[in-house]
Chains A and B, each alone.
Chain A
Amino acid sequence: MNLFQREPAEPKSQAELLYQAQQRKERQFRTNVGLSWGILLLFLIFLFSGNDIAIGSFSIKTINLDQNFIKENMGFIAGGLWETIKISFLSIAFATVLALLAALGRLSTNPPIYALSTFYVSLIRGTPLYLQIFFFFLALPQLGIVLSGTLAGVVALGLNYGAYMSEIFRAGLSSVGKGQREAAMALGMTPRQTMQRIVLPQALRFAIPPTGNEFIAMTKDSALVAATGFVHELMWRATKVGRAQFHNLEALIMAAIFYWVMTLILTALQSRLEATLSKGDR
Chain B
Amino acid sequence: MSSIIKVTGLDKYFGRLHVLKKIDLEVKPMEVVCIIGRSGSGKSTLLRCINFLEEPSAGTIEVDKLVVKAGGRGKEHRQLVHEVRLKTGMVFQEFNLFPHMSVLDNVTEGPVIVKGMDRAKAVQIAEMNLDRVGLLFKKDEFPNRLSGGQKQRVAIARALAMEPKVMLFDEPTSALDPELIGEVLNVMKKVAQEGMTMLVVTHEMGFAREVADRVVVMADGEIIEENTPEVIFKSPKDPRTKALIDRYRSGGHE
Contacts and interface: CB of A to CB of B under 8 A. Distances in A.
A205 B51 CA distance: 30
B114 interface: yes
Interface in B133-189: 142, 144, 155, 158-159, 162
B236 interface: no
A187 B114 contact: yes
From DSSP, what is the main secondary structure of chain A's interface residues? Answer: helix
B96 A183 contact: yes
Contacts, number: 62
A184 B102 CA distance: 15
A193 B98 contact: no
Interface string A180-206: 101111111110010001100110010
B109 interface: yes
Contact of B113 (A182, A189, A201): A189
Interface residues on chain B, size class: 20 to 34
A205 B85 contact: no
A205 B110 CA distance: 22
Interface in B101-123: 102, 109-110, 113-115
Nearest to A205: B100
B45 to A, nearest CB: 13
Contact of A187 (B100, B144, B158): B158
A281 interface: yes
Interface stretch (B2-10, B13-21, B55-63, B86-94): B86-94
A180 B92 CA distance: 10
B53 interface: yes
Contacts of A186: 51, 53, 85, 88-90, 92, 159
A164 B199 CA distance: 47
A6 interface: no
